[in-house]
Amino acid sequence: MEATEIRKLAALEDTHWWYRERRALLARALRRLAANGQRPGASSSTPERALDIGAAGGGNTRVLRAHGWQPLALEYSAEGAQVAAERGLDVIRADARYLPVPSASLGLVVAFDILEHIEEDHLAAAEIRRTLRPGGTALIAVPCDMRLWSAHDVAVGHVRRYDRDSLTAVVEKAGLVIDELWSWNVLLRPVAAWRRRKSTGSDLDDLPGVVNLGLRTIITAERYLPVKSLPGVSLMLRAHRPLTD
For the stretch 149-186, pLDDT in tens is 998 899 888 999 999 999 999 999 999 999 999 999 99
Encode 91-106: b = buried (16+ Cβ within 10 Å), e = exposed.
bbebebbebebeeeeb
Residue 51 contacts residue 71 (beta carbons within 8 Å): yes
- Please, what sign has the CA dihedral across residues 198, 192, 53, 11? positive
Strands laid side by side in the 132-143 sheet = 91-93, 70-75, 49-53, 106-112, 132-143, 234-240, 177-184
- CATH match for 3-240 among 3.30.1330.10, 3.40.1190.20, 3.40.50.150, 1.10.238.10: 3.40.50.150
Average pLDDT over the chain reads: 90
58/201: higher pLDDT: 58
Give the pairing type, strands 132-143 and 234-240: antiparallel
pLDDT digits (tens, 9 = 90+) for 40-53: 765 555 679 999 99
Section 219-223 average pLDDT? 96
Q: Which DSSP state fits 189?
A: H
Mean pLDDT of 22-51: 84
Q: What is the DSSP string of 91-134?
A: EEE--TTS--S-TT-EEEEEEES-GGG-TTHHHHHHHHHHHEEE
Query: Are residues 220 and 157 in contact, defined by beta-carbon separation less than 8 angstroms?
Result: no
